[in-house]
Structure 1
């Protein structure tokens, strides 16, 4: 029984020593403030008690200034990011505007080509109607007079009239007078027109 009590006492003493040592160490590290408790112990063993370090007003101001500097630095970084994004947006907007301008110019070019094509088609239609009207008009007059008019035409107009006359005859199921007209023409003129008619596409092509 006595041995057990002795061991208990030794364990309690060891715990007290460890607790005291830990208390002194934590106080030294300023983790806890135990200077008031430890002051009598320091005096008992002849040591000068440690005084509590007080934070002065200047230190508080320094901490506030440091916090303010950190916030200002963060704001500066944020402003730099915003400025960079603004520059990227401006650059992107310039690219979009350039693309829109290019598309507008291409659209104008396409519109001009379409208008030019439509004008050509309209001119071709007008010419085709005029050629048909002339062919019908010549087909209704005496052959000798019609041949005189055709002979004085330029080659392309004469060829177009002759071909249109043949087309009208085929469509109406009647005999074409083109061969008779050619027989009434001077041989050189008739041969030249026939040669060119064989090599040139028709007006409708």
Structure 2
């Protein structure tokens, strides 16, 4: 009976040791200290894979390279598209910059032209005033001899200024007498041009305030 009890104890202790060892190994596997699947293939969740042949490995490598090449091509296309977009934006900005520069130059040229025209107008006005004073102080025959070589526009401008000077001074203008000294056709043309010039300088009548000749007599 004692011998039987000793065997039972041995078996019991053996089972306890195996159970304890199994639990310990399981804990080690759970903690990631060891990998039972690597030691015991039948414990792996996936069936064991057969080693690939050289041809199969080459095919897989080729497919991987092709996929990588496709990704690189897609990336290259994206970069090319981005580069084209940047070029388009740069060209658009350059065009806008060119338009802005042209507008700035046009404005500068317009200001320059306006300044030149203003200066030319001021200079011409001064010359007309000076010539009007000089002709007004000359004998009529000498004045007519001078204006014979002038253009009709210059003659009209100077004569109009002479009449304005005489009016401001309260004197009789000699312009009508000078016109009679000119050839008949030119005298008629100068008279017409002077009338037009005076009419252009006169203020326009207000429709609510008609000219005196248009008013009804009282």
In the alignment, the residues of structure 2 paired with residue 36 and residue 191 of structure 1 have an alpha-carbon distance, to the nearest angstrom, of: 130
Match of 2:123 in 1: 126
1:70/1:201 CA distance change after superposition, 3 Å: farther
Superposition deviation, residue 166 in structure 1: 1.8
- TM-score w.r.t. length of structure 2: 0.54
- 1:165 pairs with 2:162: yes
Deviations 1:145-172 (A, max 9, x none): 3233334433222111101112223444
In the alignment, the residues of structure 2 paired with residue 202 and residue 132 of structure 1 have an alpha-carbon distance, to the nearest angstrom, of: 20
- State which of 57, 74, 77 in structure 2 corresponds to 1:77: 74
- 1:192 pairs with 2:186: no
In the alignment, the residues of structure 2 paired with residue 178 and residue 60 of structure 1 have an alpha-carbon distance, to the nearest angstrom, of: 116
Superposition deviation, residue 95 in structure 1: 2.7
1:97/1:198 CA distance change after superposition, 3 Å: same
Does the CA-based 8 Å contact 1:160-1:202 persist in structure 2? no
- 1:54 pairs with 2:49: yes
Q: Secondary structure at the match of 1:176?
A: coil
Does the CA-based 8 Å contact 1:160-1:203 persist in structure 2? no
Does the CA-based 8 Å contact 2:136-2:174 persist in structure 1? yes
| Structure 2 segments unaligned to the other structure (5+ residues) | 1-36, 203-218
Superposition deviation, residue 175 in structure 1: 3.9
In the alignment, the residues of structure 2 paired with residue 202 and residue 147 of structure 1 have an alpha-carbon distance, to the nearest angstrom, of: 25
1:57/1:166 CA distance change after superposition, 3 Å: same
- TM-score w.r.t. length of structure 1: 0.57
- State which of 136, 141, 146 in structure 2 corresponds to 1:139: 136
In the alignment, the residues of structure 1 paired with residue 50 and residue 201 of structure 2 have an alpha-carbon distance, to the nearest angstrom, of: 105
Does the CA-based 8 Å contact 2:144-2:182 persist in structure 1? no
1:182/1:36 CA distance change after superposition, 3 Å: closer
Superposition deviation, residue 56 in structure 1: 2.8
Superposition deviation, residue 130 in structure 1: 0.6
1:67/1:170 CA distance change after superposition, 3 Å: farther
Superposition deviation, residue 92 in structure 1: 2.1
Does the CA-based 8 Å contact 1:134-1:161 persist in structure 2? yes
Instruction: Compare 63-72 and 108-117 and name the one that shifted more.
Output: 63-72
In the alignment, the residues of structure 2 paired with residue 119 and residue 187 of structure 1 have an alpha-carbon distance, to the nearest angstrom, of: 36
Q: How many residues align?
A: 158
